Amino acid sequence: MGYPVSQETAATPAMLLVTSERFADHHTPSGHPERRERAVVMTSVAEQYRNSGGTVVEPSAAGHDALTRVHAADHVDRIASTGGHRVQLDADTHASPESDAVARLAAGATIAAVDHALDHNGRACAFVRPPGHHAERTRAMGFCLFNNVAVGAAHALARGTSRVAIVDYDVHHGNATQWMFYDDPRVLYVSTHQYPFYPGTGAATDVGVEAGAGFTLNVPLEAGAVDADYDCVFQQAVIPVLDAFHPELILLSAGYDAHTRDPLGGMLVSTAGYTRMTTRVQAAADAHCGGRLVAVTEGGYDLTALENCLTETLRVMSRPTSSPAQTDAGSSERAEAALKIVRLAQAPFWPGL
């Protein structure tokens, strides 16, 4: 399929894709789900986008200062020390000889995407690996070395942005992204995720602390949630809170492992369901941010589902925002159960929910 690439207009902000073939140079052990073939898929989709007239650029590596806005210096140094070696960092997180350089490129791609969004009132995608939202301030975990989205959010704040929203629809809760901004009212973190599930965080009662109280919105969903469940929580919780927060930039942690084909998650979201969620987030960016939206890849371990979702994300973000397609018939029981506890937890902060 082709992409409706157009010149920048008020209806269609400028769109940029940031990625690199070098993301295949981060190697994990045989049989590991976060494998180099994921990068091959990203490169293939990017090439199709370029051939259709889309703009694709190579990233530069994130520097020490950009990384240490969210990570401890000794963590950055520890990842750097893995250069040239194969190192197991935790039970399922590995570094290979090129992983430090590749992870710095992933964070740098996110920074480049954020700069494009801020400089051009535009949209940008960063197709990167390794993913980032489990990488905490002081440790790598959950396949993640550096927290790409958090680096991007902190970069936006350093540039003077006052309100950044992060929407995370990966099947896993982004524990590290949550904790990095847990007391910061400038960053709204919103997550829909399977619960209970790895990494064990993301209860509805995790709402932030001190000045950041109310600026973490967790929507924990029981395994087996379908498109209708996700669409329900987006319409009744995610979008209303985004509307009330009125962000100046939205970052999307675009994890596609809630897909029904994914081998790790237990959710039943279709490609169309992901398209619908992306469209709703994009509409919020149009309404509040002048179209400033950045999508950064996280999980997604079935290669067919990954390819389809990446293609759809580019298609949606390369065209004027339209109304989301009608949700297919399905259960919303899991959504209603989640919304009940979310409203109780968030009532002091977002009384309109």
Give the span between the Cα atoms of 63 and 74, in whole angstroms.
14
Q: Which residues, at least 6 apart from 239, have a Cβ–Cβ distance to it below 8 Å?
A: 280, 283, 284
**What is the token pair recorded at 270?**
């279709």
**Under 8 Å between Cβ of 95 and 82:** yes
Name the catalytic one among 71, 94, 133, 134. Answer: 134
> CA torsion 235→236→237→241, rounded to 10°?
80
120: annotated active-site residue: no
Rounded (5°) CA angle 212-218-223:
165
Give the span between the Cα atoms of 301 and 63, in whole angstroms.
29
Active-site annotation, residues: 134
